[in-house]
Amino acid sequence: NAGVTQTPKFRVLKTGQSMTLLCAQDMNHEYMYWYRQDPGMGLRLIHYSVGEGTTAKGEVPDGYNVSRLKKQNFLLGLESAAPSQTSVYFCASSWGLYNEQFFGPGTRLTVL
Amino acid sequence: AQKVTQAQTEISVVEKEDVTLDCVYETRDTTYYLFWYKQPPSGELVFLIRRNSFDEQNEISGRYSWNFQKSTSSFNFTITASQVVDSAVYFCALSEGDILTGGGNKLTFGTGTQLKVEL
């Protein structure tokens, strides 16, 4: 089992460009999450999903959109990238409400 | 709103020393879970432990132990006889879910404690 995978691992964007980060999990988890990690701020929840076809806002959702068309995939989109979105992005998944989350390896995004 | 405080930004110890990482949390829920994750220099996040709000028993796993005290809203993590491989950033996290609306497992992370273990 691959667990949680993220594509791409690294990306550099120019301000105003768009991109989509892909997260895939093969554990049949219902819940999936997108976090961003910035120095000195821990991880902050961007959006999450409690099942196929559902999404919800987390702590810092502005500037991002998500979709969960298939249970195993959770996409994070940046429509018009800004330098403030330079960060490391982590995807995670879990079985249920209070179970531990399994994290992907992260995507390092730089917006110039 | 829930909050997790890890007041220790960075700790340096010499190998074989014991070290305790502090975690203080705030929540208004009676049902919640606390977690510790490890982030080694390679960057991935590794799950260490989960503890629910109704279980205050301390837990030991090898050189790791956790002390959960609801009275002080703390969930501290102790590494006994530290090793260089323990060098990492350690995150404490709090999960409270909205069962009625199925809000999901929303983790609130502390800012992390960088542990450096030197020879």
Strands (E), B1-119: 3-5, 10-14, 19-21, 24-26, 33-39, 46-52, 59-61, 64-69, 74-79, 88-96, 106-109, 113-118
> Does A53 contact B at CB distance below 8 Å?
no
In the DSSP assignment, the letter for residue A15 is T
The one-letter amino acid code at B15 reads E
Does pLDDT of B10 surpass 90?
yes
Q: What does the pLDDT read at residue B1?
A: 67
pLDDT tens digits for A24-67?
A: 999 999 999 999 999 888 899 999 998 999 999 988 999 999 99
Q: Which chain B residue has its CA at the smallest distance from A106's CA?
A: B44
Mean model confidence pLDDT for chain A: 94
User: For residue range B23-34, what is the model confidence (pLDDT) as tens digits?
Assistant: 999 988 888 899
Q: Do A31 and B104 touch (CB under 8 A)?
A: yes
Give the model's confidence band at B97: pLDDT under 50 very low, under 70 low, under 90 confident, else very high. low
A to B CB pairs, distance under 8 Å = 62
Per-residue pLDDT tens over the stretch B48-82: 999 988 888 888 889 999 999 999 999 999 999 99
**A94–B45 CB contact, under 8 Å:** no
Residue with token string 């667990």: A3
Q: How far is CA A8 from the centre of its chain?
A: 11
Nearest-Cα residue of chain A relative to residue B40: A105
Write out chain A residues lying below 8 Å of B106, CB-based.
Answer: 45, 48, 58
Closest Cβ–Cβ partner in B43, B52, B109 for A98: B52
Q: Decide if pLDDT at A1 tops 80.
A: no
